[in-house]
Structure 1
Amino acid sequence: MRCFAVSLLLVVSLSACATPREPPASECPRHELAFSRETGCQNDGAVEFCLPKGNDALLARVKAIAPKVHAGASRGRAGCDTSQETLYFFPTEATECVSHHGALTPAAWDALCRLAALPEVRAIVPTWYE
């Protein structure tokens, strides 16, 4: 019986790790996201946010959550103060979206919720080029 219980626990633990899950609403700071999971890919190929300049540890944490995040050189829609902040883009490519201009995948939504939960991230907004 003990062997069965250990095996069952192992199966449950591994299946929980293998499938990214959307965090419960209480865990995702949705007030910092200017879109929902369903509308997360309605943009010009990315969503964006600001980070303080010169904080390598913070950037490493961001890259651990979302390795494809890359820096920009303007204020962006996020309204970064370029003297103190850098604009960052989270690409919404085919691997992050269930369809073109559709919903974010559960994994992409999870990553954006984790980014939004960082105290240094004020808001995450869609990228629109004009």
Structure 2
Amino acid sequence: MQAVPKEIYEAATLDGASSLRQLWGITLPMIRPTVVFTVIVTTIGSMQIIAEPLLFGAQVSNGAAVTGGTDRQFQTLALYLYEKGFRSFEFGYASAAAWVMFLLVVVVVGVNYLVVRRMRGGLDA
């Protein structure tokens, strides 16, 4: 938000814009590219979480599989992919899980793109 020039806020204040109108009319449109990038990168990163479930609930003893907790309560899609591909050697299931992860990321990015495009169209009108 520091990238938004202060002169724009000063001009909006002189024109009588309230702080809420400045937020919706100046701040959000100016930082939209950063927000879009952050949402996309966060979505991709959240799909790939594997270390945290291992820290919280993995119990590997006597060659047991990494499952993400005793009842799989911490298991993520990436951990499932790891378990199927590298512990059970079920490469078909691991490949399918990788494709599902990819398609979920594509769908979320597509929805994000449509929302941003609709917001941009609504603000220009």
TM-score normalized with structure 2 length: 0.25
Q: Would you tell me which structure has more strand in proportion to its own residues?
A: 1
Scaled by the length of structure 1, what TM-score is found? 0.24
Where relative contact order (Cα < 8 A, 6+ residues apart) is larger, the structure is: 1
Structure number, greater radius of gyration: 2
